[in-house]
Amino acid sequence: MTSKLSLATLDQVKATASVPSYSRADLVPGIVHFGVGNFHRAHQAIYLDDLFNTGADHDWAIIGAGVLPSDAVMREKLAAQDFLTTVVEQDNNRTGARVTGPMVDILQIGDTAATIEKLADPKIRIVSMTITEGGYFIDASGAFNPQHPAIAEDGKNPAAPKTVFGLIVAGLRARKDKGLQPFTVMSCDNIPHNGKVTKNAVVGVAALSDPAFANWISETVAFPNSMVDRITPATGQRERDIALDDFGIDDNWPVFCEEFKQWVMEDNFPAGRPALEKVGVQFVPEVAPYEHMKIRILNGGHAAIAYPAALLDIHFVHEAMEHPLIRAFLAKLEKEEIIPIIPPVPNTDLNDYFDLIERRFLNPKIGDTIPRLAQDGSNRQPKFILPSTSDRLAKGDDIVGLSLVSALWCRYFHGTSDSGANIVFNDASAERLQAAATKAKDDPMAFLALDDIFGEVAKSELFQKRFAHALKTLWEKGTAETLELYLQNKLVS
């Protein structure tokens, strides 16, 4: 028997999945969240669902929001099932499904007035976001770019903004005009110092039209830093079929994820917050050590294995980790070049943390894919790989492995795998990346000329030398033999 997911069918659904113990009618929205994609619904929404199930803090329900066409599609799919989500948690030894209900609505995408009105609702005390690494309008140095066309347009039309940050500025202005306390702005994206980056974006947009108001935001609004972690692949027909066949739940957009999750946050919420510490969120004075560890080891690890796997025609992440060359490459890279330059993390052994990451990458059940890891490299490489390269160069350390990661990315963007299969890109900068990668086959410096990505790193003679040699070797010998040479400490010119 199958059930179409909705509030009306929860009694049937609970035969195969856990369902909320709280009444949705008792929830009051306290959070507006931009970007209600898979990660948000596997992470922030899960913590809130756990908290609501304890009977606490029912005035912190979520209202979704967005600015992209994909957000409108998500709204349509979730509205048809009363904004409920089936979350399937998969570990190596267990699989379980739960239906979550902390989201009670999603604002009409494109309705600027309704969004600003909701942001000005005194019941809303947190505005959060999961808009991906590329959604923050920052350059290779991490600085906010006020000249981006979308941002410049919001600066010219502050009353009719189109970006998330323009909407937040308009919402804060509406609250100030009403004499209301500002909401806290909370990023849930994988960006170092995500609170600071978000503050720079919000203040930067405001400064384009009203510098005095920008100063008020800078001095008054809280932007706590946080570190978020849960491997959450994209949803496709495979996931819909599993939800239907294994659990009898017909869900328009189920979310699959690993069992592990982590959220570390600064406790900086002047307007109040839900008691998330009751359900496992770590509130700490300083998030930086945790995010540094996670972004360099986990996200950097994902970026490192994505391109050799793609070039070897491997589709799933666990299959990449089962390939002896790729797994050994990741371990050598992490232990010799990445982990040694990560500052200490409270109560954490970094080698034990990497062992955990290996086990998570090896999980075959979640079906995470190499195409997902390989997407949006123009934003991910400068955040997950190149900072480690830069730090090692600053210390005078070698960067053979990290240069190989950059060379693999360049080789990938030539557009074909080692077998000659065409590669499908998912990157806003794909056209110029492919053009640069094509030129780089004969002139490696053509790829490093992408200043907005490589920044100061590209000026290092050592990096230029290591990158050029690695790329030349990839073209002459192929991915597998190049990895072998690296593992044998022979990938040096």
Could you tell me the two tokens for 119?
A: 């942001």
pLDDT of residue 366: 86
- Report the alpha-carbon distance of residue 33 to residue 200 in Å, rounded: 19
Q: Which of 38, 111, 103 is nearest to 369 (CA)?
A: 38
The type of residue at 484 is E
Tell me if 133 sits within 8 A of 376, measured CB to CB.
yes
Does position 92 have pLDDT exceeding 80, yes or no?
no
pLDDT of residue 410: 98
Task: Average the pLDDT over 356-367 and give the result.
Answer: 93
Which single residue is written with the structure tokens 């702005």? 185
439-448 contact pairs (CB < 8 A, 24+): 440/410, 440/471, 441/414, 441/471, 441/475, 444/410, 444/468, 444/471, 444/472, 447/410, 447/471
Tell me if 298 sits within 8 A of 357, measured CB to CB.
yes
Query: Which residue segments constitute the domains of the chain, with CATH numbers given?
Result: 3-284 (3.40.50.720), 288-488 (1.10.1040.10)
- Report the alpha-carbon distance of residue 378 to residue 104 in Å, rounded: 35
Tell me if 84 sits within 8 A of 101, measured CB to CB.
yes
Could you tell me the two tokens for 307?
A: 């391109």
Could you tell me the two tokens for 157?
A: 């039309």
- Give pLDDT tens digits for 150-196: 999 999 999 999 999 999 999 999 999 999 999 999 999 998 899 99
CA count, 13 A, side-chain hemisphere, 131: 23
Four-CA torsion 392, 393, 395, 400, nearest 10 degrees: 50
Can you say how many angstroms the Cα of residue 471 is from the centroid of all Cα atoms in its chain?
28
- Give pLDDT tens digits for 23-75: 999 999 999 999 999 999 999 999 999 999 999 999 999 999 999 999 999 99
- Report the alpha-carbon distance of residue 158 to residue 167 in Å, rounded: 8
Under DSSP, the state recorded for 296 is I
Query: Quick one: pLDDT band at residue 142, thresholds 50, 70, 90?
Result: confident
Query: Quick one: pLDDT band at residue 91, thresholds 50, 70, 90?
Result: confident
90 pairs with which residues across the strands? 95, 258
- Report the alpha-carbon distance of residue 129 to residue 408 in Å, rounded: 31
Percent of the chain with pLDDT over 70: 100
Phi/psi for 443 (5° steps) reads -135, 90
Using N-to-C axis directions, what is the helix angle for 194-209 and 149-156, rounded to 10°? 50
Task: Average the pLDDT over 441-446 and give the result.
Answer: 98
Does the pTM surpass 0.75? The reply is yes
Tell me if 151 sits within 8 A of 204, measured CB to CB.
yes
Using N-to-C axis directions, what is the helix angle for 479-487 and 400-412, rounded to 10°? 180
CA count, 13 A, side-chain hemisphere, 200: 18
